[in-house]
Structure 1
């Protein structure tokens, strides 16, 4: 309803720019004194009555204005109720109203006409989508042999039922004809009925069976086409016929939409209050007199009424429909002119109000019901017809399924219990616990730190290595010297002890390694008399300290990436939950409508239809679209906007709506519209492919 709402809002703003006469004061002048008229009534009463009527008209005009930006269209019942509340041309004293009151009445009628106009356009567009869906259904049936075979199976009981009803009616008619032929002229109807009732029951059934058999043979001979064609070919012919009827109904609706858009309310108001009409065939404009907008409203009302009455007539063509509509509008204008010549004519505003109420109360509901009847007759089969086969299979196998469920009650109960337990454990272990760990990591909880070893392990082993090396150095002071000579004194100084501790912290065990190398020259003697075993154990302690240092580095690295590991542990559970939720959502029908990929395919197909409509347009119309082509274009554009709103982001959708506004502007010509289609195709290719 986007471009319809914009159109209604634009026309309503044009009506607000119409200059009206200077209004009367809303209260009588305090210095004025009542003056008696010829019949003795007071002029003060007249002014007060006119003031009340003008105030009421102003209030009703305000109710019909497009004050809401989101919902500019009112409901049909509300528009009708406002028209019923209005009092048009009420006789007051001498039977004349002020010019301002008369123009307020016309403004009220104009705004009600605009609202009715928008409601009719919206109704035609809304009814177009089911017709398009049914046409696509028949295209799928005709486009695939498997779908055609499925349709033949689905509709076979229906065809058998119609054939049986036809045979029964034919046999019954034959029976009545035979009775009338065998009746004796001298016998009355009562005696004939007595003879028929006196026959045995078996004889009467035998006679009826013979008539049925003869009717079947005669129908088989008469319907040679059905005998030659297979049921598969008959189904395709039926689908082709129904698709053609739906296309014709859609073209008629599109033609009515194009006529209303091009011939109704086609005017603008300039800054000086002059009305400018825009022709359909050419782009020229004509400035007309101020009073002509009333004639435009009368013509628009007659056009809307005629279109609603004639648009669902399937027995006329497009050209005949256009000629019928314009001829009816022309005759309606002549009848209005004759009515205005009467001695006591009914006010024009009253007549137009009654016609608008009739359109809202009678013609629109009748049009909707007629379109629904035709769509039901030629549209896709009902759900009962399409799904009778699986429903029958399910019904016939229901007892077997119930027996299997009863016999395996314990197993099924166990499966359900285990499924619930597994689901709960998965939720707790793979979703809840990882979330708790991530939250504790964000809060920097010390208890949640990853640790590959205890915090004091490295310090204790390093101190033990220092003591072991220091004790060995004190026991073998000669190992401290670089040349290994014996020291003159057997004790180490404080400086030497500090130097040994410093070297051990840095990982330097030169003194121990030199002694180890010296004892390794004669390993047996070094093992028995020397310190080979002791130096070997010191090196083992050194290796242990080095391993702990490496593990400490890895531990620090893991702690710095603890949040990453927490999210990695949480990801599988979230992915599984998301997949299950989407599957259950689609299974339960929470996500309505088409999938995104299919919506994009439909959008591309709609854009193709728009391109075909523009390309196939006739060039005899000064490079502009005809009524039917314009209506088809707007129907496709309306569907395109609805699909784009579902899959496009809001900022992209605004740009798309702007491009569509250029597309539906037929005043630019077909060539520019085709260039707009090309721009839409490459600019929004991401959302179309």
Structure 2
């Protein structure tokens, strides 16, 4: 069962629970039953009508919560027929049993019709995508070319055999068979000369034949004139157009039947709320009387539903269902439109006849056993309306072999060439693969793993290798400079101890003016002082001073490096980590893009389906409620929406909320305006519908 059918049956069955509880509470002798756990078969074997009805109702309540089996319903009705001559004090249980069986058959029928229209809608979508695109139409012709040629060969063989049987085989007879345009076109394009389309083409052909002697040329010109295209492409377009018209006609007929069943569904809720209130608002009925009034409406709704099922499924009063059963679908535009109009009129007449026959309903004139008998006849003689193999061969999409033999050949030959290329360069490919794996491994080890460990060591002060000089080296160089300057001052200026201490403090501060003054005097006679003077000593002291200055600068630079050591560590690992993050982000986006592309791909069919639903509401002439045909088409389109919704993501309850909107459109309690507002809300709420 479809979700809509299950929900509708559960809703109708739930409206019966109040009547069922009140009856069980009002009849005191039911509480004295010795065994209330009997199965329907065990209760039927006891030949106790009440026990059987209670067991069957209990079993039906359990089955209506899911998918009831028609075999079980047929068995229950067969067993119930054996109690036809038995009498009971109250027929409430009888009507409850028959009503629940009717709901099961009703739900199964609604689900079957909906399932039969789903492949039709999918086939229409397939042909709509092909029609109008020259490349798609040409590719469809290539796909079906082998089957057409095979059909031409077999039909030619059969025609030659028929010719040899009926008359003498002559060269002219064989030539007439082989050159007959009707034979060739009928074999290659069987729908070109079928039914009403043949008459339409022949009328055009007759006007051309007045000026052209060869009938094949005139027929070719007919198709060229109709579609303004070369003959093969024109024939393909004509075939696709006929299939689309035929499928739409058949879906319209099925939708009309579905709409009639929806309109004729039993409604038990409205009468159960006002049963104890008179027209003046006073309680004037007893509990037993109110129960009888409720039972009357239940019996009336059940009888009405059974009559609708009989009319639709058995074809007693509905030409539309009979036409659908025979698959007598005219492919021509004119005949299809008239067929649709005729089926709608018949459906409306059937509805009016059922409503008129049920106006004077009486439980005395129509007992529950008679309704059960009619319902069992519906189950037993239900025609195979939903065997779709008949139209699939003529109007459905091509088979999988037909659609995929061209890509299959491309894959076979292209795959062979690809494998040959790969085997010829097997060694190079293996080398490239190993080098690629080694490159990726080295990248992760030397540019990710090891730098990351270095950052951790830097944070933990475990490895302090960054440094340009040491404090001990600077201290020893400074002390050496201090001793050199103080010794030079003792030798040349004979300073006291206090002056020496003061001079040492100046040297530590970087002041070596004592040496510089001596150097200034010595440089006046550089050659003589270089040999006999102190020029070389002052130069060496200045070199030591330069070394100390360099150490101080290196010490400052070393301090700067050490203060930014963590920054350098992160800077070293940042490019590789950024590249890795970008790679994984790209892979993640590609994976998420698949889901986004799937939503975008399914968004266009969703928008097309909602457009057809809006157009359905706009073109329907009824102001408050939809007609039978429109109601059936609406359910067919909503079933498509339900199938498309399975591809929506489940995060953020997108799918669940979208299905909730679909259920609002399916609800019978909402009028046309409320459903239009629901469609507007869907356009505003869902981004993929914008």
* TM-score when normalising by structure 1: 0.70
Q: Which residue, 598, 608, 618 being the options, matches 2:601?
A: 598
Query: Following TM superposition, by how much is the alpha carbon of 1:642 offset from its aligned partner in structure 2, in angstroms?
Result: 3.6
Query: Following TM superposition, by how much is the alpha carbon of 1:577 offset from its aligned partner in structure 2, in angstroms?
Result: 5.9
Q: Which residue of 2 aligns with 1:62?
A: 61
Q: Which residue, 115, 126, 133 being the options, matches 2:115?
A: 126
Does the alignment pair 1:110 with 2:128?
no
**1:391–1:90 distance in 2 versus 1, CA, 3 Å:** closer
Query: Following TM superposition, by how much is the alpha carbon of 1:147 offset from its aligned partner in structure 2, in angstroms?
Result: 1.5
**1:409–1:57 distance in 2 versus 1, CA, 3 Å:** closer
Contact 1:306 1:325 in 2 (8 A): no
Q: Which residue of 1 aligns with 2:627?
A: 626
Q: Secondary structure at the match of 2:19?
A: coil
Contact 1:12 1:111 in 2 (8 A): yes
Deviation readout 1:626-684 (Å, 9 max, x if unpaired): 22222222322332344345335443444444444444456655445434333322332
Query: Following TM superposition, by how much is the alpha carbon of 1:600 offset from its aligned partner in structure 2, in angstroms?
Result: 1.5
Q: Which residue of 2 aligns with 1:466?
A: 475
CA distance in 2, matches of 1:263, 1:225: 53
**1:262–1:570 distance in 2 versus 1, CA, 3 Å:** same
Does the alignment pair 1:97 with 2:95?
no
Does the alignment pair 1:617 with 2:620?
yes
Q: Which residue of 2 aligns with 1:233?
A: 234
Contact 2:53 2:94 in 1 (8 A): no
Q: Which residue of 1 aligns with 2:343?
A: 321
Does the alignment pair 1:292 with 2:297?
yes
Does the alignment pair 1:570 with 2:614?
no
**1:624–1:468 distance in 2 versus 1, CA, 3 Å:** same
Q: Which residue, 549, 552, 555 being the options, matches 2:562?
A: 552
Q: CA RMSD in A?
A: 5.0
**1:208–1:662 distance in 2 versus 1, CA, 3 Å:** same
Q: Which residue of 2 aligns with 1:173?
A: 162
Query: Following TM superposition, by how much is the alpha carbon of 1:261 offset from its aligned partner in structure 2, in angstroms?
Result: 1.7
Query: Following TM superposition, by how much is the alpha carbon of 1:274 offset from its aligned partner in structure 2, in angstroms?
Result: 4.6
Contact 1:273 1:290 in 2 (8 A): no
Query: Following TM superposition, by how much is the alpha carbon of 1:528 offset from its aligned partner in structure 2, in angstroms?
Result: 4.8
Query: Following TM superposition, by how much is the alpha carbon of 1:412 offset from its aligned partner in structure 2, in angstroms?
Result: 4.8
Query: Following TM superposition, by how much is the alpha carbon of 1:603 offset from its aligned partner in structure 2, in angstroms?
Result: 1.7
Deviation readout 1:300-321 (Å, 9 max, x if unpaired): 2332344345144444833433
Unaligned runs of 5+ in 1: 31-45, 67-72, 180-206, 277-286, 501-508
Unaligned runs of 5+ in 2: 35-44, 183-213, 225-230, 278-291, 315-320, 330-337, 527-534
Contact 1:479 1:511 in 2 (8 A): no
Query: Following TM superposition, by how much is the alpha carbon of 1:374 offset from its aligned partner in structure 2, in angstroms?
Result: 1.0
Query: Following TM superposition, by how much is the alpha carbon of 1:272 offset from its aligned partner in structure 2, in angstroms?
Result: 4.2
Q: Which residue of 1 aligns with 2:175?
A: 213
CA distance in 2, matches of 1:173, 1:62: 62
CA distance in 1, matches of 2:520, 2:473: 28
Contact 2:614 2:676 in 1 (8 A): yes
Q: Which residue of 2 aligns with 1:347?
A: 369
Q: Which residue of 2 aligns with 1:411?
A: 424
CA distance in 2, matches of 1:172, 1:132: 41
- Tell me whether 379-388 or 421-430 shows the greater mean CA deviation: 421-430
Q: How does 1:300-339 map to 2 (within 5 A)?
A: 300-308=305-313, 310=321, 311-312=324-325, 313-315=327-329, 317-325=339-347, 330=353
**1:390–1:82 distance in 2 versus 1, CA, 3 Å:** closer
* TM-score when normalising by structure 2: 0.70
Q: Which residue, 543, 546, 549 being the options, matches 1:536?
A: 546
Q: Which residue of 2 aligns with 1:53?
A: 52
CA distance in 2, matches of 1:328, 1:47: 42
Query: Following TM superposition, by how much is the alpha carbon of 1:236 offset from its aligned partner in structure 2, in angstroms?
Result: 0.8
CA distance in 2, matches of 1:574, 1:291: 70
**1:28–1:11 distance in 2 versus 1, CA, 3 Å:** closer
Q: Which residue of 2 aligns with 1:88?
A: 80
Query: Following TM superposition, by how much is the alpha carbon of 1:387 offset from its aligned partner in structure 2, in angstroms?
Result: 3.5
Deviation readout 1:496-537 (Å, 9 max, x if unpaired): 98x99xxxxxxxx84268789889989978775242211211
Q: Which residue of 2 aligns with 1:505?
A: none
CA distance in 2, matches of 1:5, 1:563: 61
Query: Following TM superposition, by how much is the alpha carbon of 1:12 offset from its aligned partner in structure 2, in angstroms?
Result: 2.0
Query: Following TM superposition, by how much is the alpha carbon of 1:213 offset from its aligned partner in structure 2, in angstroms?
Result: 0.8
CA distance in 1, matches of 2:46, 2:167: 84
- Tell me whether 633-642 or 350-359 shows the greater mean CA deviation: 350-359
CA distance in 2, matches of 1:429, 1:491: 63
CA distance in 2, matches of 1:516, 1:623: 115
CA distance in 2, matches of 1:665, 1:275: 28
**1:116–1:53 distance in 2 versus 1, CA, 3 Å:** closer
CA distance in 2, matches of 1:485, 1:377: 128
**1:79–1:91 distance in 2 versus 1, CA, 3 Å:** closer
Contact 2:347 2:628 in 1 (8 A): no
**1:433–1:237 distance in 2 versus 1, CA, 3 Å:** farther
Aligned residues: 589
Query: Following TM superposition, by how much is the alpha carbon of 1:98 offset from its aligned partner in structure 2, in angstroms?
Result: 4.0
Q: Which residue, 446, 449, 464 being the options, matches 1:455?
A: 464
